[in-house]
A = this chain, B = another copy of it.
Amino acid sequence: MSEVSRRGFLVAGGTVAASAALIARGGQAPAQAAAMRRDAEEFDEHSYLAEYTVSFDGAHQAGISTPHQAHLNLVGFDFHAGASREDVQRLLKLWTSDARALCQGETPPGSLEPEMSASPANLTITCGIGPRVFEIIGEKRPGFLDPIPAFELDELEENWGQTDLVLQICGDDPTTVSHATRHMVRSSKTYVSTGWMQQGFLNAHGTSGESPTPRNLFGQLDGSVNPRGVEDFAEQVWIDDGPDWARDSTVMVVRRIRMNLDTWEELDRASRENAVGRRLDDGAPLSGGGEFDDIDLHATDDYGLPVIDRNSHAARAHPPAGHPEQRLLRRSYNYDLPPVPGDQLSNSGLVFICFQKDPHEQFVPIQKRLDERDLLNEWITHIGSAAYWIPPGVGRDRDAYWAQSLLE
């Protein structure tokens, strides 16, 4: 009986799991594994864990240009009343040290659960700093953290609003992500309490069939126009001017977007594709080519009619002439809450996360156009909004901590 041989494997196969897993990771994504191995060899002595490890140290924080992992816990935190500049400093030192250990598969100080952090499985922990922290530390708030303006169609819920800090915890093992979240929360309780936790998921192992781009719950490949390569990231994501402390940092905008699957799924496929401006199967623009080819907003069909609807999501999100800066890195995750019993069929959406140099030059003008006219607005509602400065990486200095150059 096959069911028994499978269960039999579970016992017999236990001892080969470690070496077999190496093959698995290598087989699944050879170039990715090679890149990770390269990182790991520089910093990490755990050769067994190396294949699963994303380097924590570097010029930029991990979890931004890192290929998306399967799981997200995005946790917003608020400082207790009366927090001081020293508290901010102490917490960020503590968090940096704990995050480095967890992401390398080591046991952070104070943890009695070495088994729960032994398999990082591409764990990344990315720290962001909200506008109020600049008040607490007595520094001028940078312009890129000016409040995101309200948009006409927003239905923001206070539950999902701005917090003082955020941790973006991503990984390919849900138990590891859960434990890392738990550890970061418990180790910071002297200073902060949690405001919200936004849990999300994507296709397992970072792939979805033929395309590396994950699918959202409308079935769309989500993130096809993301930056690719050093130049794109330098242009769109990493801050390279302004004060010294901001160099190599970036800015995260989080929008919680409810998606109405019930009404969306009433559409036929042609209408769905028209609303997005792209094919559902392979993500290619309706104007032709492949997923990563440029969209042609001027393409017409045999009758001279535009192939891409001017109000489609892709057309409205596209940078207008003279504004090549209106691009950014999307790194969103799907969410699925239990439906309200007896009432809802689903309670799903997107934890939209994007990274950029300055939201007021990038996210805000794009979202303004989408808010004004985007066919997708019929089926989506923005219910949460927040923005965070993402300090630079800690380089290769083991004593460095997040936002050190701002705080010292």
Residues of A within 8 A of B (CB): 1-18, 20-21, 23-32, 35-36, 38-39, 55, 58, 60, 62, 64-67, 70-71, 78, 112-116, 118-119, 121, 159, 172-176, 178-179, 181-182, 185-186, 189, 193-199, 201-215, 217, 219, 226-230, 233, 261-262, 265, 268-269, 272, 280-281, 292, 334, 336, 338-339, 341-346, 348
Q: What residues on B are CB-neighbors of A17 within 8 Å?
A: 29, 207, 209-212
Among candidates B36, B67, B214, residue contacting A175 with C-beta atoms closer than 8 Å: B214
CA distance A35 to B3 in the complex (A): 8
Besides the known contacts A2-B38, A9-B32, A23-B23, 19 further A-B residue pairs in the complex with CB atoms under 8 A apart: A3-B58, A3-B233, A5-B38, A6-B31, A8-B31, A8-B228, A10-B67, A24-B24, A112-B265, A115-B209, A119-B209, A172-B204, A174-B201, A175-B202, A175-B204, A175-B214, A182-B348, A189-B345, A194-B344
Chain B CB within 10 A, most for which of A28, A58, A193: A28
Give the 7 A-B residue pairs with the shortest CB-CB distance, closest first. A23-B27, A24-B28, A174-B201, A3-B65, A9-B31, A197-B338, A10-B212
User: Is B346 touching A182 in the complex (CB atoms < 8 A)?
Assistant: yes
List 19 interface pairs A-B (beta carbons < 8 Å), by A numbering: A2-B35, A6-B65, A9-B67, A13-B32, A14-B211, A21-B205, A23-B24, A112-B269, A118-B209, A119-B208, A174-B202, A175-B203, A176-B203, A186-B261, A186-B265, A194-B342, A197-B338, A198-B338, A199-B336
Shortest Cβ distance from A116 into B: residue: B219
Q: What residues on B are CB-neighbors of A6 within 8 Å?
A: 31-32, 35-36, 65-67
Q: What residues on B are CB-neighbors of A229 within 8 Å?
A: 4, 7-8
- With A185-B346, A212-B14, A229-B7: A29-B20 Cβ-Cβ less than 8 Å: yes
